[in-house]
Amino acid sequence: MAELLDIATRVVAWANDGEHIEAYVVHERETEARAYDGKVEAFTSAESQGIGVRVIVGGKQGFAYAGTLDDDALHETLREARDNATFAEPDEFNGVAEPDGVAAVELELYAPGLASFSTDEKVELAIELERATLAADRRISGIESAEYIDSVYESAVATSTGIAVLERETGCYLSTYALAEADGEIQTGFGFSIGRDPRTLDPGAAASDAAERATRLLGASKPASERLTVVLDPWVTAQLLGIVGHTLTGDAVLKGRSMFAERMGDTVAHSSITLVDDPTNPAAFTATTIDGEGLATRRTPLIDNGVLTGFLHNSYSGRRAAAMSTGSAVRSGFKSAPGVGAQALALVPGDRSQAELIADIDNGFLVQGVAGLHSGVNPVSGDFSTGAEGLRIRKGALAEPIREVTIASTVQRLLQDIIAIGDDLEWLPMSAAGVSMVVGDVTMSGA
């Protein structure tokens, strides 16, 4: 959709002398089909668009947005952003991104096949997902939801420094929440399948994952508190990496909100840890060729064999840190100015399977799910406490299910207490890849 870029460049061309403008324009088409009881519970067909305009004048920054793209809205948004800038205080490092000569990689993020996938086929997929979930195990008593979602997302960034880029991507997603019941007790589990073309989605795999997650916890009990070795499932590790990634952003580091601010070059993690943010990796579902400010994305090493080697920067934090932007400007839609964040984090995997790692553990806990990371983890202090459920490990083998416990440590200690990384790296529907991780000496709180 070339018009998006036209709109962005047109707004930027309205810049006054001495003024810098960045326009971010998006258009999204989304459909969602929810199945229940073998029928369509809800079908949503949605189209949305919007623009976010950032103005910097005399080092002062203002921002405004609108959810429509008519001419009046564009003018009003620019006017508001200009007016907002006059009330901010100057910062010499404020500015839009400057072209840095780094060429964007070529990625196939757009699957043309989505356009020819009919409404009936989408509905059929959602209904098939529900059917497969209910049939996956005799203990599955119902579903909370089974849905198919797809989107075509287009975004354009233009700046008064000459950036004018467009990105277009498709995404398709199946997700199911199963309820399992035995002896009057209910447990839940989710499963998903993700891709760029709906024909690559696998409802059977999503269904069996959901059934497996729901049934494996049936009969779980609450154990006594103790310190033990934990194995984090890939799904859990990926969420932990998201928190670590946040502490390594230029914004957190420069504003004194990261425990790693003064630790560049130090050993901050076990020597098995090599962490990289690489949104150019086509295997990542969050892969992208341009960042939120229109710069090419790139591979950024963060931790190398345990040693802190890099932080993530957008153009503001890069200038302020006397470094370059790492192409890590991220946006949460068009309603806010770009921040800085990880886009596709991954650990370099080890060479042993989860089963082999477990075989070495005499007394442990395979953590298959966590709850409350947003309320129990403080990314500034590093305090880490989260609800957890999963299976006990006894004498090298998986044992009984446990639930209603927490595991606690600090982010700093967790990284140092890592014992091994598995070989089972998998990309998940979040900005990090999962892999099994063994951590020693973690407090499990229970009864």
Partner 1 sequence: MLDHELINRTLSTAMNTGGDFAEVFVEDKRSSSAMFDDGRVEELTSGRDRGAGIRVIVGDTTGFAHTADLTEAGLRSAAEAAAAAARGGGGGAKTVAVSPIDVARGVPARIPPEDVAKATKVGLLTLANEAARSEGVAISQVSARYGDSRRRILVANSDGLLAEDDQIRTLFSVSCVATGDTGLQTGRESTGRTVGFELFEETDVEDMGRRAAQRAITKLAARPAPSGAIPVVVGPGGGGVLFHEACGHGLEADLIAKGASVFANRIGDEVASPLVTLIDDGTMAGEWGHFAIDDEGRPAAHNVLIQDGVLTDYMWDQLRARKEGRPSSGNGRRQSYQHLPMVRMTNTYITAGSDDPADIIAATDYGVYVAQLGGGQVNTATGDFVFGMTEAYLIENGEITEPIREGNLIGNGPEVLTRIDMLGDDFKMGSPGTCGKDGQGVPVGDGTPTLRVTSLTVGGTAA
Closer residue to partner 1 (CB): 253 or 425 = 253
Closest separation in Å from C-beta 362 to partner 1: 21
Applying CB under 8 A, does 200 fall inside the site for partner 1? Answer: no
Single out the residue of 13, 46, 182, 397 in contact with partner 1 (rule: CB under 8 A): 46
Closer residue to partner 1 (CB): 197 or 383 = 383
What residues contact residue 340 under an 8 Å CB cut-off, 6+ apart? 249, 250, 251, 312, 313, 314, 316, 317, 328, 329, 330
Single out the residue of 16, 200, 353, 378 in contact with partner 1 (rule: CB under 8 A): 378
Return the residues of window 209-248 that contact partner 1 according to CB under 8 A. Answer: 222, 224-225
Closer residue to partner 1 (CB): 58 or 301 = 58
Closest separation in Å from C-beta 248 to partner 1: 15
Single out the residue of 132, 157, 407, 437 in contact with partner 1 (rule: CB under 8 A): 407
Applying CB under 8 A, does 386 fall inside the site for partner 1? Answer: yes
Angle at 91 between CA 87 and CA 93, to 5 degrees: 140
Q: What is the largest CA-CA distance in the chain?
A: 74
For residue 115, the one-letter residue type is A
Q: Taking contact as CB under 8 A, which single stretch among the options 142-150, 202-210, 280-288, 321-329 is the one that binds partner 1?
A: 142-150
Cβ atoms of 296 and 99 closer than 8 Å:
no
Q: How far apart are CA 366 and CA 415, in angstroms?
A: 17
Angle at 239 between CA 236 and CA 243, to 5 degrees: 140
Closer residue to partner 1 (CB): 84 or 363 = 84
Long-range contacts of 37-46 (CB under 8 A, 24+ apart): 38/127, 38/130, 38/131, 39/127, 40/123, 40/126, 40/127, 43/119, 43/123
Single out the residue of 40, 107, 307, 398 in contact with partner 1 (rule: CB under 8 A): 40
Applying CB under 8 A, does 134 fall inside the site for partner 1? Answer: no
Q: How far apart are CA 50 and CA 65, in angstroms?
A: 7
Q: Taking contact as CB under 8 A, which single stretch among the options 55-63, 231-239, 289-297, 298-306 is the one that binds partner 1?
A: 55-63
Q: Is 322 exposed, middle or buried (0-12, 13-18, 19+ CB in 10 A)?
A: exposed
Applying CB under 8 A, does 311 fall inside the site for partner 1? Answer: no
Closer residue to partner 1 (CB): 127 or 312 = 127
Single out the residue of 2, 17, 18, 89 in contact with partner 1 (rule: CB under 8 A): 89
Closest separation in Å from C-beta 155 to partner 1: 17
Single out the residue of 3, 13, 16, 48 in contact with partner 1 (rule: CB under 8 A): 48
Return the residues of window 177-196 that contact partner 1 according to CB under 8 A. Answer: 177, 179, 186-188
What residues contact residue 338 under an 8 Å CB cut-off, 6+ apart? 24, 54, 291, 292, 293, 314, 329, 330, 331
Closest separation in Å from C-beta 151 to partner 1: 13
